Structure 1
């Protein structure tokens, strides 16, 4: 199993079914060689390291911008939508984040108080507002989150077309594992 720890540092094993499920009650693995099992655990460990690195990066961005996770998700959506020439309304933000209109109003109040967004009359619907990210927030996001995204893009661009296809299929299959089975719901 891949181990990334400092000498003498205790490490909790998170993905090795040999240690976590020795009786194969959940993870059937008797058909796998030791080499295959080590490779599978290596992929799961690499995914865990990626999730942790992503979590730390997101946390650093939130702290730097003094924002919560939902606020950052809203800003990312606003920046992307504005780049695509879309007029973003509070309703669109609420739908994107899966929150109520009251929660959206509070979110926009926070973002406006922090000088991250502005509210203006909608250009074609006088009953609605257009929400825009301020230039300063756009610049800060571009320098932090944007640069990180560019580095990830470069990594993916370095893959061959068949490798990108395999990675895409892998992530789509992994996404399916996050959907509840009928057995999980019962």
Structure 2
């Protein structure tokens, strides 16, 4: 795709959340009391959110592709890393609870991760009826080099904000999250 095609595609994507374009008759959102500059500024916020989502999707896809894993696989590995780093024992039951999946689905997930040399099952140090799940050093290094490094960058960005700025972002994202609660599920 050429630079011009990328630019046109980006411009069209931006227009898709501008109420002056997608809701020109004001059926869903009346912006008649807003100045064009204010509407454009709100659209820039939505542009930034769209860009963030796209970046998040690219990172997620790159991590999954690099490690040849699905979303739940990646979530399980992160869980195992966190649990073992704090000195606790990761178990199949803990993984199932964390992911909200059945024990059968957890067994399949762990079998897949073990076949891919991402984890090992070892004897639980305190419970003979259970196994301890440990991540391989190669998978830990790969996770730290991808998701871990990106998380550290994001943390630094958030840390660079003032406390007041962080409070605004927290309030905004919290309110934005609550906009997805409900209407479409009842439709």
2:186 pairs with 1:185: yes
Q: Superposition pairs for residues 21-170 of structure 1, below 5 Å?
A: 21-170=23-172
Match of 1:17 among 12, 16, 19: 19
- The CA RMSD over aligned residues, in Å, is 1.8
Q: Secondary structure at the match of 1:51?
A: helix
CA distance in 2, matches of 1:28, 1:97: 41
Q: Secondary structure at the match of 2:65?
A: helix
Q: Secondary structure at the match of 1:39?
A: helix
Name segments (4+ residues, structure 1) moved above 6 Å. Answer: none
Please report the TM-score for the alignment, with normalisation by the length of structure 2. Answer: 0.89
CA distance in 1, matches of 2:54, 2:117: 30
Shift of 1:184: 4.2
Shift of 1:6: 4.0
Shift of 1:129: 1.8
Residues 1:163 and 1:96: Cα distance change in structure 2 (over 3 Å) = same
Residues 1:30 and 1:142: Cα distance change in structure 2 (over 3 Å) = same
Determine which structure has the larger helix proportion and give its number: 2
5+ residue gaps in structure 2?
none
Q: Give the count of matched residue pairs.
A: 181
1:7 is aligned to 4
CA distance in 2, matches of 1:6, 1:35: 27
Q: Secondary structure at the match of 1:118?
A: strand
Please report the TM-score for the alignment, with normalisation by the length of structure 1. Answer: 0.89
